[in-house]
Amino acid sequence: MKHLISLLFALALAGVAQAQAPQPPEVAARQYILIDLASSQVLAEREADVPADPASLTKLMTAYLVFDAIKARKLSLEQAIPVSVRAWSERKGGGSLMFIDTTMKPTVDELLKGMIVQSGNDASVALGEAVGGTLDNFVTMMNRQAQAWGLKNTSFRNVTGLTEANHHSTARDIAVIAGKVIADHPNFYPYYSIKQFSFNNIKQDNRNMLLGRDASVDGMKTGYTETAGYCLVASAQRDMPNGKRRLLSVVMGTASREARASESQKLLNWGWQAWDAVRLFDAGKPVATVPVWKGKSAEARLGAPGGAVFVTVPKGTGAQMKTVIQRSDPLVAPLAAGQKVGTIQVTTAAGTPVASLPLVVQEPVELAGLLGRAWDSIRLWIK
């Protein structure tokens, strides 16, 4: 539901964004997108729905499914995983490696660090086999998850991101996957901020240069193939007066490691400087308390579903926002928690739509007894 509300925000903001949005900087990338995850609004994009080689950004989905398996207790971080010949043979493919071999039994924790920090293709294969039984099964799981999220421009053919026919994604779809990792597996997200990892006496640095340049950047993933160019998903969080705010950028098809870092930094800096995230409602706080007919309770608390609700607006315009509640009347019990009974419309002072989200019942209202219902029926008839 929270993700659905965020999507509604993004769609509703399209009109105001075209009229008022600050112009993004020039970004030297074939595709890019910048999203404020506090509101799930797209702040800037270019060719974000054009399919492209995602390179090792693929491993965001690989990691998500491994995190799912750990959460479901199908794997544990301490579990030792045998290294198959298939995983060992990745060293012949010319990509990034953790440098495991068939004599080893690294733990899931070590393999995750090898895949995320070192971008190891061998670690990715070992984890895919551990979760899916076979790589084919795991790739099927990746595609099934992508379909469940509605990612129509994404198709996986492997777990590593090495170039292969019909293996593609988009900047927008990659941003969705990264956002799901952050939202659904916060306990595992710190893997993406590890700057260095040593295994088998080989020390490798995280290829995300922004981890060492910007204290607010705490993830996420780099990628490179000759076809894809240099790619980077960068995630940054800052404490703001109205709560934490996280920006997520995806750049694909840049010219070098330095370019993917500098272009990502450019987008993030612009996101902080040109936009404000405005907290509309606190989590669980009612927007209105209204009368209810034929209920055990005489009133119902109405509000927005999910947690705190944010909207991202051009800097300095937050005070101009207006909120209007539109609801069906009369409200008649029984009412279920989460039941939609209207909408919350957010506009600029001039009336330009900014956001529209459901108005829902926050606490259930049970049906009153026979006498209470009869009395309210008479009152409604008179009304």
Closest among 30, 36, 72 to 53, alpha carbons compared: 30
Q: What angle do CA 177, 193, 246 make, to 5 degrees?
A: 55
Q: Which stretches within the chain are classed as H helix?
A: 2-12, 14-20, 59-71, 85-88, 108-116, 121-132, 135-148, 171-184, 257-274, 370-382
Catalytic residue among 59, 113, 266, 294: 59
Tokens of 196: 């260095």
Distance of alpha carbon 166 from alpha carbon 133, whole angstroms: 23
Catalytic residue among 6, 56, 235, 264: 56
DSSP 295-326: BSSSEEEEE-SSS-EEEEEETT-GGG-EEEEE
Q: Kind of pairing, strands 31-36 and 41-46?
A: antiparallel
Catalytic residue among 119, 169, 249, 264: 119
Q: Is 56 a catalytic residue?
A: yes
Distance of alpha carbon 257 from alpha carbon 265, whole angstroms: 13
Q: Count Cβ atoms below 10 Å from residue 14 Cβ, excluding itself.
A: 12
Q: Is 59 a catalytic residue?
A: yes
Amino acid in the structure at residue 165: A
Q: Which residues are catalytic?
A: 56, 59, 119
